[in-house]
Amino acid sequence: MPPINLAIVGVGKIARDQHLPSIAGNPDLLLVAAASRNGAVEGIPNFPTIEAMLDAVPFVDAVSLCMPPQFRYDAAYKAICAGKHVFLEKPPGATLSEVADLEALAIEKGVSLFASWHSRYAAAVEAAKSFLVSTNIQSVHVVWKEDVRHWHPNQDWIWQAGGLGVFDPGINALSIITHILPTSIFLRNATLEFPENKHAPIAADLNFTNSDNISVHAEFDWRQLGEQTWDIIAETSAGKMVLAEGGSKLTINDTVIPVSSETEYAALYRQFASLIKRRESDVDLAPLRHVADSFMLGKRVFVAPFHD
Ligand code: NAP
């Protein structure tokens, strides 16, 4: 089969760091165009808008949308209406309803829609899932603490409504636990800390449970200096599981478990190409639903203003 002609939209940090190298390394994909108001990709035609790109390069088969979530729906709508397969960066949109709308539209137009969750493809996630399905889980503790000034310098969108604040990294943890836990969970209570001068939280403390009375406690914090922490710890009848470093390292009762060597974005693009070939979509909204529940149920506490 000839390669899938792919275009990228929103050439910013994640497009440069991860998408471009992963696309270049996948023989099923050929990058043929980019659309970005300020960014550009060398060696291919670049356009200021997705409309201009779709008009000028009609042989584009699929697009990857790498802009912030508040601006993804409009681009996705245009691409799907033009008959293109669509890769949505995480989180797939600013609301649950707009992504459900895109999912229905993709079915109507007969294209593949991929709501990607890169952390689900971290090296040790499948091994953690296999372990948890084989045991009884007593409790889970998620600690996702990082320094926002280091990871998100000058990203205003992240502090605006729909930018999700600390849930931008926190949703990665939620994407992992919703994938590795054998049963679904729901939020019982939550506290969200909002800087006085921002529309999105800087920290969140979440308690989930389910009908089996499992306890899942998640702590997200953007004020972490020094060592950064992206860990999921489960106490189980077979002992203690630590899924550390954002899903890339697994220890069970202090024994390090061998894991996959494929990078997250290489695996995402392998999945996208496979979905297109099979004419299927992959749209799991569970992580975004937990974020929406947190904004709906969470107590709001106002904390010191945040300045970059
Ligand atoms: P970014 O660099 O701030 O934004 C990406 C690009 O989106 C920008 O360079 C900009 O390109 C375009 N954009 C910004 N505002 C826009 C608007 N109002 N309308 C249309 N396009 C706009 O952000 P990023 O870090 O790459 O993150 C983008 C997405 O990737 C987010 O959903 C994030 O959660 C996800 N992600 C990021 C990381 C990471 O490490 N940064 C990791 C995994 C996933 P132009 O100005 O050229 O149009």
The whole-angstrom separation of Cα 10 and Cα 37 is 8
Q: Are 157 and 296 part of one and the same domain?
A: yes
Residue 188 placed within a domain? yes
According to the model, what pLDDT value does residue 288 have?
98
Helices (H) and strands (E) in the chain, counts: 10, 15
Closest approach atom of ligand 1 to CA 71: 19
Question: What average pLDDT score do residues 116-133 get?
Answer: 98
The domain of 145 spans 122-261+292-303
Q: Which of 13, 78, 84, 90 is catalytic?
A: 90
The whole-angstrom separation of Cα 72 and Cα 78 is 10
Ligand 1 centroid to Cα of residue 66, in Å, is 6
Q: Are 136 and 237 part of one and the same domain?
A: yes
Q: Are 50 and 180 part of one and the same domain?
A: no
Q: Which of 83, 115, 147 is the last residue of a domain?
A: 115
pLDDT digits (tens, 9 = 90+) for 18-35: 999 999 999 999 999 999
Pocket test for ligand 1, best of 8, 11, 14, 166 (most atoms within 8 A of CB): 14
Confidence of residue 155 (pLDDT cuts 50, 70, 90): very high
pLDDT digits (tens, 9 = 90+) for 183-227: 999 999 999 999 999 999 999 999 999 998 999 999 999 999 999
According to the model, what pLDDT value does residue 38 have?
97
Q: Encoding tokens for residue 232?
A: 């999921």
Buried b (16+ CB within 10 A) or exposed e, 54-84: beebeebbbbbbbbbbbbbbebbbbbbebeb
For the full predicted model, state whether its pTM sits above 0.85. yes
Q: Are 169 and 214 part of one and the same domain?
A: yes
Q: Are 83 and 49 part of one and the same domain?
A: yes
Q: Are 106 and 152 part of one and the same domain?
A: no
Nearest CA to ligand 1 atom 25: 13
Residue 251 amino acid letter: T
Q: Are 165 and 148 part of one and the same domain?
A: yes
- In percent, the amount of the chain with pLDDT more than 90 equals 98
Nearest CA to ligand 1 atom 11: 10
The whole-angstrom separation of Cα 20 and Cα 123 is 20
Q: Are 186 and 127 part of one and the same domain?
A: yes
Q: Are 74 and 140 part of one and the same domain?
A: no
Residue of 169 and 1 predicted with greater confidence: 169
Q: Are 99 and 127 part of one and the same domain?
A: no
Ligand 1 centroid to Cα of residue 9, in Å, is 9
Question: What average pLDDT score do residues 274-281 get?
Answer: 98
pLDDT digits (tens, 9 = 90+) for 103-122: 999 999 999 999 999 999 99
Ligand 1 centroid to Cα of residue 18, in Å, is 12
Ligand 1 centroid to Cα of residue 165, in Å, is 14
- What average pLDDT does the structure give for the chain? 97
Q: Which residues line ligand 1 (CB under 6 A)?
A: 10-14, 36-39, 66-69, 71, 89-90, 118, 155, 157, 168
Catalytic residue check, 90: yes
According to the model, what pLDDT value does residue 81 have?
98
Q: Which of 82, 115, 148 is the last residue of a domain?
A: 115
Residue of 82 and 1 predicted with greater confidence: 82
> Which CATH number fits the domain that encloses residue 46?
3.40.50.720
- Per the structure, the count of domains in the chain is 2
pLDDT of 269 above 90: yes
Question: What average pLDDT score do residues 3-17 get?
Answer: 98
Buried b (16+ CB within 10 A) or exposed e, 7-36: bbbbbeebbeebbbebbeebebbebbbbbb
Question: What average pLDDT score do residues 272-295 get?
Answer: 98
Assess contact for 49 and 65: CB atoms under 8 A.
no
Closest approach atom of ligand 1 to CA 15: 26
Q: Which of 56, 90, 115 is the last residue of a domain?
A: 115
Ligand 1 centroid to Cα of residue 68, in Å, is 4
> Which CATH number fits the domain that encloses residue 131?
3.30.360.10
Closest approach atom of ligand 1 to CA 171: 34
Confidence of residue 72 (pLDDT cuts 50, 70, 90): very high
Q: Are 24 and 96 part of one and the same domain?
A: yes
According to the model, what pLDDT value does residue 1 have?
81
Residue of 51 and 260 predicted with greater confidence: 51
